């Protein structure tokens, strides 16, 4: 994976950036349901995403993760790809339904898959950042209420115990959950994600049990894998008022409470924000004594996934509307490209949370309509997709992160989402987030120019360290 050395500047952080430091971790991320496929192999049980995809009208074109990137069979080659990229770390998730049967007993074939993967990563000098829950809940648990059932939080702790015993010593950092906001709100509040429920009350309860599961899992993770860091990954977005009016400013604050503080306040301060109790209006979650202390157990790091910002206009007293910025740059998700938001939100967390742990940017990246010239099967199509918008996107977000670090925010690493094009949930395969192009007919992987530039940047960074 090489191109001319001057390609590194296409994505590289600015000169003098603290991100050039050799201890700063650069990586890429994926998740189990989005890439693995092999949905019915080696004892994997059905997950809520298998059912959701099978329900008419839930996922674009009726697509599903049955095959996805076929990573379950191609994992060794995918690790080669990671090694060629030269990343320090790889963030992936475990499919809970692959590793535990319905009685909670381990499934050795599923466990072996992740052991082999973690071992191969270690052989290649790539650190494993492992997420336990990236949304593929075993269906048998959903049949008993899913995250609405408090029991699921305890089953999650059992699962964390199993995995941290199985992978002990092979993992640099565990994340309990990826984006609990999405799991709770999109899964139980507006139904855009599995399991597809549409009740604000259920979203609040599901969130509480997700966070409780996080807290309950921490002691086992620490006991079984003492060297690893332990944390949680949250999706975050800054809100900006559409005007200077007090009402719009309040709307932006309300948005940030709903989007960020709903997850981060319990985690870092042991309580839900006051404003949430007001917003819930009779849809409050049931919180038992001691729950908030469990949720607020100390973590070693906080993973933050940043993609875009929101601009808000007040709608009545306690509600808001999103205001699309028609002249701004957008991605094919129709998400505004707003790098400054990353700096702003990191600094604002620094002010809000005295106990803010070290941060990893665990996801950042964009989807674009990347087409291989001449078709992926064409031997002449060796030329990389020139994903210019993604290269600019990454470079500007690296710079924003760098500025926040200059202002004292302790960011330790940065993971591009995603290693390769994959199953983008309700949007199916059309939305391509990868820095590596995947032809889903042939499963051929072809690094895009952003990947080549990232690899070259990482190669130069290592060479500089070696030359010291």
Say if CB 35 and CB 3 are below 8 A apart. no
Positions in 398-417 near ligand IFM (CB under 6 A): 417
Whose Cβ is closer to ligand IFM: residue 314's or residue 416's? 416
Nearest to 439 by CA among 388, 367, 377: 377
Q: Which of 36, 142, 256, 363 is catalytic?
A: 363
Shortest gap between Cβ of 400 and ligand IFM (angstroms)? 18
Shortest gap between Cβ of 31 and ligand IFM (angstroms)? 5
Positions in 156-215 near ligand IFM (CB under 6 A): 179
Whose Cβ is closer to ligand IFM: residue 255's or residue 433's? 433
What's the DSSP call for residue 45? P
Shortest gap between Cβ of 81 and ligand IFM (angstroms)? 18
Shortest gap between Cβ of 21 and ligand IFM (angstroms)? 26
Q: DSSP string spanning 324-343? A: --TTS-B-TT--B--THHHH
Whose Cβ is closer to ligand IFM: residue 272's or residue 433's? 433
Nearest to 417 by CA among 81, 92, 53, 19: 92
What's the DSSP call for residue 139? H
Strands (E), 179-325: 229-236, 239-241, 301-306, 310-314, 320-322
Using CB under 6 A as the criterion, what x/- string covers residues 95-134 for binding ligand IFM? ----------------------------------------
Whose Cβ is closer to ligand IFM: residue 36's or residue 179's? 179
Whose Cβ is closer to ligand IFM: residue 305's or residue 391's? 305
**The two three-digit tokens of residue 380, written as one number:** 């002449």
| 3-class DSSP state of 309 | coil
Say if CB 56 and CB 62 are below 8 A apart. yes
Query: What's the helix, strand, coil split of the chain in %, to 5?
Result: 45, 15, 40
**The two three-digit tokens of residue 309, written as one number:** 């910002």
Q: How many CA atoms lie within 13 A of 331 on its CB side?
A: 27
Shortest gap between Cβ of 398 and ligand IFM (angstroms)? 18
Q: Which of 179, 256, 424, 456 is catalytic?
A: 179
Q: Binders of ligand IFM: how many residues, by CB under 6 A?
A: 8
Say if CB 356 and CB 349 are below 8 A apart. yes
Backbone angles phi, psi at 286, to 5 degrees: -85, 120
Question: 301-306 and 320-322 as β-strands: parallel, antiparallel, unpaired?
Answer: unpaired
**The two three-digit tokens of residue 266, written as one number:** 């319990």
41 is a catalytic site residue: no
Positions in 362-391 near ligand IFM (CB under 6 A): 363
Q: How far apart are CA 95 and CA 149, in angstroms?
A: 20
Positions in 426-445 near ligand IFM (CB under 6 A): 433
Positions in 8-37 near ligand IFM (CB under 6 A): 31, 34
Whose Cβ is closer to ligand IFM: residue 107's or residue 178's? 178
**Is residue 88 within the footprint of ligand IFM (CB under 6 A)?**
no
Shortest gap between Cβ of 330 and ligand IFM (angstroms)? 14
Whose Cβ is closer to ligand IFM: residue 30's or residue 294's? 30
**Is residue 424 within the footprint of ligand IFM (CB under 6 A)?**
yes
**Is residue 305 within the footprint of ligand IFM (CB under 6 A)?**
yes
Shortest gap between Cβ of 277 and ligand IFM (angstroms)? 28
253 is a catalytic site residue: no
Say if CB 47 and CB 139 are below 8 A apart. yes
Catalytic residues: 179, 363
Residues that bind ligand IFM (CB under 6 A): 31, 34, 179, 305, 363, 417, 424, 433
């Amino acid at each position: 994976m090489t191109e001319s050395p001057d390609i590194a500047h296409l994505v590289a952080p600015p000169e003098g950036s603290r991100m050039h430091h050799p201890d700063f971790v650069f990586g890429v991320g994926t998740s189990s349901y989005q890439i693995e496929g092999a949905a019915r192999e080696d004892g994997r049980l059905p997950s809520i995403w298998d059912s959701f995809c099978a329900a008419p009208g839930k996922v674009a074109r009726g697509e599903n993760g049955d095959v996805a990137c076929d990573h379950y069979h191609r994992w060794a080659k995918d690790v080669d790809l990671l090694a060629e990229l030269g990343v320090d770390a790889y963030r992936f998730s475990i499919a809970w339904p692959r590793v535990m049967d319905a009685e909670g007993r381990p499934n050795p074939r599923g466990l072996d898959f992740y052991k082999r993967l973690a071992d191969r990563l270690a052989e290649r000098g790539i650190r494993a950042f492992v997420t336990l829950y990236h949304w593929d809940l075993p269906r048998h648990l959903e049949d008993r209420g899913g995250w609405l059932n408090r029991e699921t939080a305890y089953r999650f702790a059992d699962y964390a115990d199993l995995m941290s015993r199985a992978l002990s010593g092979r993992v640099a950092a565990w994340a309990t959950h990826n984006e609990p906001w999405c799991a709770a709100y999109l899964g139980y509040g507006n139904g855009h994600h599995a399991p597809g429920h549409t009740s604000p009350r259920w979203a609040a309860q599901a969130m509480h049990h997700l966070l409780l599961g996080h807290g309950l899992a921490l002691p086992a993770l620490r006991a079984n894998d003492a060297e690893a860091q332990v944390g949680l990954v949250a999706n975050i977005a800054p809100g900006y008022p559409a005007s200077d009016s007090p009402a719009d400013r309040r709307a932006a604050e309300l948005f940030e409470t709903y989007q960020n503080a709903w997850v981060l306040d319990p985690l870092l301060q042991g309580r839900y924000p006051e404003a949430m109790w007001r917003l819930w209006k009779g849809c409050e979650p049931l919180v038992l004594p001691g729950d908030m202390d469990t949720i607020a157990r100390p973590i070693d790091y906080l993973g933050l996934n940043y993609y875009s910002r929101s601009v808000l206009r007040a709608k009545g007293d306690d509600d808001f509307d999103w205001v699309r910025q028609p002249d701004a740059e957008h991605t094919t998700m129709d998400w505004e490209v707003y790098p400054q938001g990353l700096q702003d939100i990191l600094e604002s967390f620094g002010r809000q949370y005295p106990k803010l742990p070290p941060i990893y940017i665990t996801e950042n990246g964009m989807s674009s309509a990347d087409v291989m010239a001449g078709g992926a099967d064409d031997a002449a199509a060796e030329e990389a997709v020139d994903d210019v918008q993604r290269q600019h996107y990454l470079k500007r977000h690296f710079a924003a992160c760098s500025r926040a670090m200059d202002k004292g925010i302790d960011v330790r690493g940065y993971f591009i989402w995603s290693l390769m094009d994959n199953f983008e949930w309700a949007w199916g395969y059309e939305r391509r987030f990868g820095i590596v192009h995947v032809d889903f007919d042939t499963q051929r992987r072809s690094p895009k120019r952003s990947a080549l530039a990232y690899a070259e940047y990482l190669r130069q960074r290592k060479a500089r360290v070696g030359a010291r």
